[in-house]
Amino acid sequence: EDDRGTFIFNSRDLCLLEHLPELAESGIDSLKIEGRMKGIHYTASVVRVYREALDRYRDDPEGFRVRKEWLDELKKISHRGYTTGFLLGRPGEEDREYESCYLRSHEFVGVVTAVSDDGVASVEVRNRLTAGDMVELVGRAMASHRFALPEMTDERDGSSLTVAHPNQRVRLRVPFSVEPYDLLRREKHPASIDGKG
């Protein structure tokens, strides 16, 4: 509690990516992701980063280095900044988030539900999509590709769409290989990245 109000459990989010070697050598068998009340974009992004990092460490413990792309990926999910919590001692003031503001640089806009033999993806839309939007396809491992969203067709009646809305199912051609359960996300407008827009 301070002059700005009372803040209960208002910590930054825990991130131990840079300490995976110590965790692996300590003999742990599993890692727990704090995923309560989190969606598939959060869960998929965190799992893909930690899976890749653990595999790299297993394959070459001596040469293991945390990759910038892993940290960048973790910054693309909704978070309150990152901390190591109590791992390295008592948390300091920098480990608390008094503004209670999530950082959201990207938004989840859809999930691929099926892919036809001719490579057309069926997508369940989660946020408004407009033809021409720059989106990023998030696939297995650390694969991701950016592309301009083409015109879409409504999966129900085949009508042509330039705008798709949440819960709508659309079909669209993706310019590279895509699989069911790949995700689509879009970089947010800079004014909304700080959680205020």
What local confidence, expressed as pLDDT, does residue 78 receive?
72
Cβ proximity of 103 and 192 under 8 Å: no
What local confidence, expressed as pLDDT, does residue 182 receive?
95
**Is the alpha carbon torsion for 39, 45, 46, 52 positive or negative?**
positive
Q: Are strands 13-14 and 82-83 parallel, antiparallel or unpaired?
A: parallel
Q: Is the pLDDT of residue 5 over 90?
A: no
What local confidence, expressed as pLDDT, does residue 4 receive?
53
| Token pair listed for 99 | 């503004």
pLDDT band of residue 197 (cuts 50, 70, 90) is very low
What local confidence, expressed as pLDDT, does residue 164 receive?
97
**Greater pLDDT, 9 or 63:** 63
The CATH T-level fold of domain 106-192 is: Elongation Factor Tu (Ef-tu); domain 3 (2.40.30)
Compute how many other C-beta atoms are within 10 angstroms of the C-beta atom of residue 6: 7
Check: pTM over 0.85? Answer yes or no. no
Q: What are the sequence ranges of the domains in the chain? A: 13-95, 106-192
CA distances from 29 to 15, 124, 141 (A): 18, 35, 21
What local confidence, expressed as pLDDT, does residue 196 receive?
44
Q: What is the mean pLDDT of residues 66-92?
A: 75
Task: State the amino acid at position 88 in one-letter form.
Answer: L
Compute how many other C-beta atoms are within 10 angstroms of the C-beta atom of residue 179: 13
Cα separation, 145 vs 39, whole angstroms: 21
pLDDT digit string, tens, across residues 111-159: 999 999 998 999 999 999 999 999 999 988 788 899 999 999 999 999 9
